[in-house]
Structure 1
Amino acid sequence: MVKDLKSALAALNAHEPVSLLGLRETQWIDAKGRPYQLADPKAVEELAKDVAGFANGGGGVIVIGIATRLEHDEEVLDHIVGVDPATVNMDQIRKLIRQWITPAPRGVRVGWSGANGERVAFIDVPAQAGDTLFVVPAPVGKPGSPRTDTVAVPRRDGDSTHWLPRTEIQQLLSAGVRASGLTTAQALTDLVRQATSKAGPDSGLRVGQGVPEREREMRAAYEQLADAGLGQPAGEAWAQGSAALQDLHHEQDGVPGWVLCLVAGRPPAAVAAPVWQAIVEAGRHAPGQDPLAAIGLPCPPKDTDTAWVISADARSVDLDGGSWGAGRLTRSERGVWRWQPLPRFSLNQGRSAEIGTSGQTPALRLRALVNLPWADAGPLEVSKPRRTLLEQQLPHSAVAGALTMLSRRRGADLPAARWERGPFGNSARSVGYVCTIAGPDGGPAVKASVMLALPTTMKSTVVACADVLIENPEAWAAVLGAGGDTQLGLDEVQAVLLAAWETAAEVLPDVIGDPAGLSWAAPPTTELRMTCEQPADNGVLPDLDTRVDLTSLGSNDGGPRSRMAVTITAAPAMVRAERQRLLREALAYMVGQFGYVDAEMDLL
């Protein structure tokens, strides 16, 4: 039950904004039915006022996307309106907070909570140092940079944010003068002298101002990179995890500026503002996360240990340190930036690993399942023309060729030419097709199946899957003819998994349009699996080596296994040679993790 700021933040972090409904706006929570319209100067001033009010009032959270109702003269959080991520620029909100509030509040977090139609944005303003007063420029409602010669003090009082009256501001200033032990004239002169000496002749801000513990380090980095064209600070520096960042102007007027980027353990970097914006935009769709916390920060080229520059004409940037892991942001010839993960392997299986297997017990299943976490996939659908095109493609697909190959290598011509709808169901949100090679009694001997499922309320990821199943080895042997050996070799397993992966990654996604134009909300992955699922008479699943010849891998220190699987984090689309290389490396990783420690790459 949500009853205080801590539990409200816990609900938002758990993507359960509905838990906030019924709360009353109070000292620590404020609800907005729609996003701040930041093209309007008055909305920018309102944002600064709201955040500074919470900073002065012990902390709180602003939730954007929940409408309120008036009840006994109190605003009650009534229902979720939802916010389209395309209408909220999180990075702009962070920059405006830093630019308009003095000093910039520490630890402010801007994020997303919920999913689909119940997604809300929130601004978490933690409690600040008790001896710090946060001020903003006096509101004027006109466009332009924040004025430095006016001041206003917002404060949170109950369920509203009010301006501190001028008389109280005067009393605070007078108290400060008295505490200094100087006369008013002396105190003002001293303040002006301090401000002038710290700011320098051309700027009201210092390099590193805002992160005092790293200010010296940032100034040293600035000096190392000054030849790149770094100008004066455009705002206070801020901390991003273990990194320190600061917006800078370019030394030439009218030229896009820079972001000074210091990441622990890496040489400092100056990132051109357009490239920095592309980095932030690429991570913006991560649900409930700060974009940089998801996508990470720039990594220097290999063997670089000195300060480096990412210029505005850069074609690619390597990123790491975020929850998405290592990746590369690349700009196309048309100037479109797209992030893709750098390949890596693990044994982590997703929630959809066994999708479509209910009620099935094949003797052997070889599966490639591709998780495609596209952002804003809700409107996607399978059109009739694209479904028809898929039906025409399947008999000539790689997975159909793999199924045909298994029989041809055993002397039988059993083409995978006839594909039928099912068994996974077909709709505007899903496709499912199967090709069956029947045994003498008409029952299935071997099969290939494909499916694609668009997101549901339970799953937020598009899933594409291709299977090859040895349903009944005896029936398959019967249709193969005399001497038909139904045990697969490792080379056949590789060929089938390669074909299934290619089909799931490149053929099936085309049923929803052009996937290349979609952005990621998380790293895409491919799960490769080989499983025995048909229990013996005693109810025990047989070992894989009864269906696949694993002798070339050597002994298994982990004992017999009925299944092995590996997950590849990589871009789904790639050239065939690259897919073959990754497949071999992934299988080598898999068999090693499952106890075949003597297996070598050249055996695969």
Structure 2
Amino acid sequence: MLNDLKSALAALEAHRPGSLLGLRETQWLDAKSGPYQLADPRAVEELTKDVSAFANGGGGVIIVGIATRLEHDEEVLDHIVGLDPTAVNVDQIRKLIRQRITPAPRGVRVGWSGADGERVLFIEVPAQAADTLFVLPAPVGKPGAPRQDTVAVPMRDGDSTHWLPRAEIQQLLSAGIRASGMPTAQALTELVRQAVSEAGPGAGLRVGQGLPDREREMRAAYEQLADAGLGEPTGEAWAQGAAALQDLRHEVDGEPGWVLCLVPGRPPVAVAEPVWQAIVETGRRAPGGQDPLAAVGFPRAPAGTNAPWVIPADALRVDLDGGAWGPGLLACSGRGVWRWQPLPRFSLNQGRSADIGTAGQTPALRLRALVNLPWAEVSTLEISKSRRTQLEQMLPHSALAGAVTLLSRRRGAELPAALWERGPFGNSGRSAGYTCSIAGPDGGAAVKASVMLALPTTMESTVVACADVLIESAEAWAAAIGPGWDTQLGLDEIQAVLLAAWETAAELLPEAVGDPAALSWAAPPTTELRITCEQPDDNGVRPALDTLVDLKPLGPNDGGSRSQLAVAITAAPAMDRAERQRLLREALVHMAHAFGYVDAEVDLL
């Protein structure tokens, strides 16, 4: 049974926010049905009041996304409203807590709990040092920087939060003055002198204040970067994973501020505030309310840079690393729009959609390029009639159609991939599927090309674009071509088909939902390339690939023959053809090495 802060936090960490329903708001528990609207100064004041009240009251947790009902004059947690993580700026919440509350409470944690549709935000405020009082600027409910010459003390009293009356604040100050043993005027003068001595002229905070273990390191970095225009801190330093961070003003009024960022093993960097916000906003699109910087990582210095460095406000590119998304770069367009893309890398990981659209099919050979497009804004995507018509008009002239036509043309036959029909995959506002068949003399399919685009479903959260070339029957294809031609594909033909399939799936098909360049990523996009023999022999065993594909350029394979080879490429879908061809060749070599062709080299393909 949940009856204290510890058990409530355990339920939230286990993603069971529903377990809290029925609890009453109390000294350690507060619930909000909707998020703090941080564009409203009054909501900012409410947030910092709630947090500092718990800091002054022994700790507690604020849960945002659960509505309450009034029962016997008490607020009871009634039902989960749920929040959209993309509509809540968690980083801004953390920043406001650090900047507005003096001193900044230690160990405050902002996180998410629950599954989609029932996701809630929680702000955990641990118990603080018993001799510390947390204060705020007096609330005014108006835009602008808070006044630094006012003070207010929020207090938690049972299930409510209120301001400490002026008379009690005066009593606290008087008690402190009496404890100093000095007359009032002398005590106040000494306090001012001490504050100025510790913080420096015009400043209320030290560089590194808030992270005593790293304060010296941060001050050294600040001094090395001061010539870039770093001003005074605007809030205490804080830890984000292994990184130490602190917001700073610019030394010139009106210029964007800075974020001082220290990551172990990397040179310190001062990042202009607009660029830092672009980094954070990019990571905010990660699903599940993940910490933005845990997703995209932190700025990575240019190669060969070991000294402290600066990312100015007019920077057009930032390399990032250390996050769950892996190495990537954030690039700014001429219109000031920042867009993240991964740095290319290879693996053998196949996603949940690897076999999409293959049910009931047993081609002799399948060459597949499947592109996973984890866009952040997918709920409004649809395949309109006009864009479907445009796709139908372009498919006969696509790279995929050209590659399939060329397979027969190289063998002396003109069998164009010109007629594309809907199916066999379902077509709707959320999916599109087309197939082109080249028949053998008996009318049965010899070679097929097919494409499919599927928008997210309850089972799959990403957009999937796929292009296949199927040799349904090598015998039927040989009969359609005519005598004297070998239907075994060369490795150069495999490359040409995979290149065309990848280009079609990555660039042509996504245009069916609009302009892909206008969409942002919620995770790294990937492409899966696969070469498989799927038609079993009479003994039920799939034949080896080298019966249908000439794999000699890869060299010997100590592991024996295989019926399947596959590789995954993490890279931006859109690129020029030369870059795509280079990545394809490198991916095939990576795949070959992983499957035992250890002598394979790019130059031999």
> What is the TM-score of this pair, normalised by structure 1?
0.92
Q: Which residue is equivalent to 1:360?
A: 361
> Residue by residue, what CA displacement relative to the aligned partner does 1:576-601 show, whole Å, maximum 9, x if unpaired?
00000111111111111122112111
Quote the offset at 1:244 in angstroms.
Answer: 1.4
Question: Which secondary structure state, in structure 1, belongs to the residue aligned with residue 137 of structure 2?
Answer: coil
Quote the offset at 1:40 in angstroms.
Answer: 2.5
Q: 1:15 to 1:462 in 2, by over 3 A?
A: farther
> Residue by residue, what CA displacement relative to the aligned partner does 1:216-246 show, whole Å, maximum 9, x if unpaired?
1111111111111111212222111111111
Question: Which secondary structure state, in structure 2, belongs to the residue aligned with residue 528 of structure 1?
Answer: strand
Q: 1:372 to 1:239 in 2, by over 3 A?
A: same
Moved more, 149-158 or 392-401: 149-158
Quote the offset at 1:359 in angstroms.
Answer: 2.1
Q: Which amino acid aligns with 1:240?
A: Q
Quote the offset at 1:271 in angstroms.
Answer: 1.4
Q: 1:272 to 1:543 in 2, by over 3 A?
A: same
Q: Which amino acid aligns with 1:261?
A: C
Give yes or no for contact 2:364–2:471 (8 Å, CA) kept in 1: yes
Quote the offset at 1:263 in angstroms.
Answer: 1.5
> Residue by residue, what CA displacement relative to the aligned partner does 1:438-479 show, whole Å, maximum 9, x if unpaired?
233333222111111111222221111111112222222222
Quote the offset at 1:152 in angstroms.
Answer: 3.5
Q: Distance in 2 between the 1:547 and 1:72 partners? A: 78
Q: Distance in 1 between the 2:302 and 2:80 partners? A: 45
Quote the offset at 1:63 in angstroms.
Answer: 3.4
Q: Which residue is equivalent to 1:136?
A: 136
Q: Which residue is equivalent to 2:401?
A: 400
Q: Distance in 2 between the 1:424 and 1:16 partners? A: 38
Q: Which amino acid aligns with 1:335?
A: G
Question: Which secondary structure state, in structure 2, belongs to the residue aligned with residue 527 of structure 1?
Answer: strand
Q: 1:504 to 1:245 in 2, by over 3 A?
A: same
> Residue by residue, what CA displacement relative to the aligned partner does 1:329-356 show, whole Å, maximum 9, x if unpaired?
1111112111111111112222212112
Q: Which residue is equivalent to 1:600?
A: 601
Structure 2: segments with no counterpart, 5+ residues: none
Matches within 5 A, 1:121-520: 121-129=121-129, 132-164=132-164, 188-287=188-287, 288-520=289-521
> Aligned residue pairs: how many?
604
Q: Please give the root-mean-square deviation of Cα atoms over the aligned residues, in Å.
A: 2.8
Q: Distance in 2 between the 1:348 and 1:358 partners? A: 21
Q: Which amino acid aligns with 1:491?
A: D
Give yes or no for contact 2:545–2:564 (8 Å, CA) kept in 1: yes
Moved more, 20-29 or 479-488: 20-29
Give yes or no for contact 2:86–2:284 (8 Å, CA) kept in 1: no
Q: Which amino acid aligns with 2:447?
A: V
Q: Distance in 2 between the 1:117 and 1:9 partners? A: 20
Q: 1:352 to 1:16 in 2, by over 3 A?
A: farther
> Residue by residue, what CA displacement relative to the aligned partner does 1:254-303 show, whole Å, maximum 9, x if unpaired?
11121112121111112112211221222221122121221111111110
Question: Which secondary structure state, in structure 2, belongs to the residue aligned with residue 333 of structure 1?
Answer: coil
Q: Which amino acid aligns with 1:231?
A: G
Give % identity. Answer: 80
Moved more, 324-333 or 67-76: 67-76
Give yes or no for contact 1:466–1:504 (8 Å, CA) kept in 2: yes
Matches within 5 A, 1:47-66: 47-66=47-66
Q: Which residue is equivalent to 2:101?
A: 101
Give yes or no for contact 1:531–1:563 (8 Å, CA) kept in 2: yes
Question: Which secondary structure state, in structure 2, belongs to the residue aligned with residue 367 of structure 1?
Answer: strand
Give yes or no for contact 1:395–1:418 (8 Å, CA) kept in 2: yes
Quote the offset at 1:19 in angstroms.
Answer: 6.2
> Residue by residue, what CA displacement relative to the aligned partner does 1:174-226 show, whole Å, maximum 9, x if unpaired?
77667767777766554333212111112111111121211111111111111
Q: Distance in 2 between the 1:386 and 1:14 partners? A: 44
Q: Which residue is equivalent to 2:88?
A: 88
Q: Distance in 1 between the 2:108 and 2:237 partners? A: 13
Q: Which amino acid aligns with 1:236?
A: E
Give yes or no for contact 2:111–2:123 (8 Å, CA) kept in 1: yes
Question: Which secondary structure state, in structure 2, belongs to the residue aligned with residue 508 of structure 1?
Answer: helix
Give yes or no for contact 1:353–1:369 (8 Å, CA) kept in 2: yes
Q: Distance in 1 between the 2:144 and 2:327 partners? A: 39
Q: Which residue is equivalent to 1:543?
A: 544
Q: Distance in 2 between the 1:326 and 1:4 partners? A: 42
Q: 1:553 to 1:86 in 2, by over 3 A?
A: closer
Q: 1:525 to 1:99 in 2, by over 3 A?
A: same
Quote the offset at 1:156 in angstroms.
Answer: 4.0
Q: Which amino acid aligns with 1:52?
A: S
Q: Distance in 2 between the 1:265 and 1:286 partners? A: 26
Quote the offset at 1:428 in angstroms.
Answer: 0.8
Q: 1:341 to 1:209 in 2, by over 3 A?
A: same
The alignment status of 1:33 with 2:22, answered yes or no, reads: no
Give yes or no for contact 1:69–1:76 (8 Å, CA) kept in 2: yes
